[in-house]
Chains A and B, each alone.
Chain A
């Protein structure tokens, strides 16, 4: 710091006195201040990663919605017929087809004319020109006892039937493989590990820092005289203010982490449930004779129940809608209140449970990508409506409708 000799002119006695008294003056600082510094000193990588992940997710979703309808690598007609149950009504037509027709249109995999019933459960699985006979198919087929039994038996034994005719349509092999993957999806289980966050209307990922305009709260009726302030008696109260008593709420975005299980009943419908932990934090503020500031942290554990409807899928991508409800139980609430009056600071901490349950309705549109064997990564933009269940102040009580983004890893088995 500069010394007095830096002054071009000598300080007067009054200014000198003020300098001497205030140069080393200290004011108490609340513990929360450091908590505000420390996160900002962490490596930027985390924040960068967060933004990058969200940006990539948004870009992928946008691209999928833009280009998915125009993709032409859909399963050809022949393969699309595969899952269709053959009934007595159409069996005649099927038999009208010659063996050659069947071979041409469906990349036939048997050396002789095959009744359509067999084709239902047969798919080309790989380049070794083998045919895997799937186990489960349309239930109605069970009535065609002889043929279906044969199919089931082959599948149970894991047998593969080689066919020299398989490569007659090289260009369609990949398509048939996709069909095989899709078929495998039926009746399967998935485990999802994901995280999510959300906000009101926008997807801004972070706290809203309100910049307070410069003002003089204590500023006065300048230039008159200043009556000495009197400390309000309730400054020393040992009970924190209820969150409802605060006049300003700055609610942070929720952070959720969950483990869920999905059961796909068939290719299109599935049910999902599990456990989801959510962390909610809010900064509360109230200016009175005393300045009250609080940080309220809430911990919730919830059980979601969602119906999942697949809209479109191929061997790697899947687009789906999901909707349902979630019930959450508040595990713990912690309120750290700091009171300021002049230069006095008093900090109180209140911990306790949370009564009642938080109910919500949720809807999401998701996209998943199979990046390795049965491992998928998924992103789910979602919207949630939180009912007024008399819960402590959080972003959910401030905004009943929240838009968010979830992401995670899914394993199919």
Chain B
């Protein structure tokens, strides 16, 4: 189905168009939500809230940017609103918490891991690390933008990202070792 047709249908409030949009984007957006809240129940609520926003605010989508990008931004914003509202973004983990610095991960070894495995590793990060890592590494926001979105300083954003990456590397290395042992 042509994307423009679906968007036009949604703007008219057509139920079939909403359902099509939902089916098209729900799995990917569920993954986005799960990356931010690490709780299927909450992610499901965010998914619902996000689609409600999509359908009610689709009139503001002018078509100047890619529709998938607009959809994703709505879901990321929804997730951040939830985290802010519930005071879930805590950025006070000490550097010591990261333990030993992880060795550089062999990217070729990483290829053997599935996306589900990597997703699970990100899900295990503390909220603050996870949020900054997602925003910077996956969504592509700059540190200054992240600082603005999370009401933190740019330096804090950088620090959180570096710490998150190190913890994540440790988790991934552990997973690779386990895979190799099997």
Contact = CB atoms under 8 A, between A and B. Distances in A.
Given A1-B66, A29-B27, A225-B171, A41 B55 contact: yes
Contact of B142 (A6, A12, A217, A222): A6
B6 interface: no
B31 A223 contact: no
Given A22-B122, A214-B39, A220-B124, A34 B22 contact: yes
A4 B140 contact: yes
Interface size class of B (residues with CB under 8 A): 35 or more
Given A342-B120, A343-B119, A214 B138 contact: no
Contact of B165 (A12, A214, A227): A12
Contacts of A340: 40
Given A25-B31, A27-B27, A1 B40 contact: no
Nearest to A221: B124
Contacts of B34: 27
B175 A36 contact: no
Nearest to B51: A37
Interface in B71-128: 72-73, 82-83, 86-88, 97-99, 104-105, 107, 110, 113, 115-116, 118-127
Interface in A266-298: 285, 291, 293
Contacts of B107: 13-14, 17
A58 B94 CA distance: 57
Given A1-B66, A217-B39, A226 B124 contact: yes
Contacts of B86: 211, 213-214
B168 A18 contact: yes
A223 B44 contact: no
A285 B168 CA distance: 31
Contacts of B99: 223
A90 B170 CA distance: 104
Interface size class of A (residues with CB under 8 A): 35 or more
Q: Which DSSP category, helix, strand, loop or mixed, fits chain B's interface?
A: helix
Interface string B26-46: 111011001101111110100
B141 A22 contact: no
A29 B55 contact: no
Interface string B9-27: 0000001001100100011
B138 A18 contact: yes
Given A1-B66, A22-B118, A217-B39, A37 B139 contact: no
A219 B52 contact: no
B140 A218 contact: no
A39 B105 CA distance: 47
A23 interface: yes
A19 B123 CA distance: 14
A8 to B, nearest CB: 5
A212 interface: yes
B28 A25 contact: yes
Contacts of A216: 38-39, 124, 126-127
A2 interface: yes
B178 interface: yes
A214 B124 contact: no
B153 interface: no
A373 interface: no
B163 to A, nearest CB: 10
Contact of B175 (A40, A218, A222, A228): A228
Given A26-B27, A226-B121, A37 B170 contact: no
Query: Lowest 10 CB-CB distances: which A-B pairs, in order?
Result: A26-B27, A214-B88, A2-B140, A1-B69, A225-B174, A15-B137, A27-B30, A25-B31, A27-B31, A29-B26
Interface of B: 15, 18-19, 22, 26-28, 30-31, 34-35, 37-42, 44, 47-48, 51-52, 55-56, 66, 68-69, 72-73, 82-83, 86-88, 97-99, 104-105, 107, 110, 113, 115-116, 118-127, 133, 136-144, 165, 167-171, 174-175, 178
Given A37-B52, A41-B18, 18 more contacts: A6-B141, A8-B143, A8-B144, A14-B169, A18-B138, A22-B138, A25-B28, A26-B27, A29-B26, A30-B44, A34-B19, A41-B55, A214-B42, A217-B39, A223-B97, A226-B171, A293-B41, A343-B116
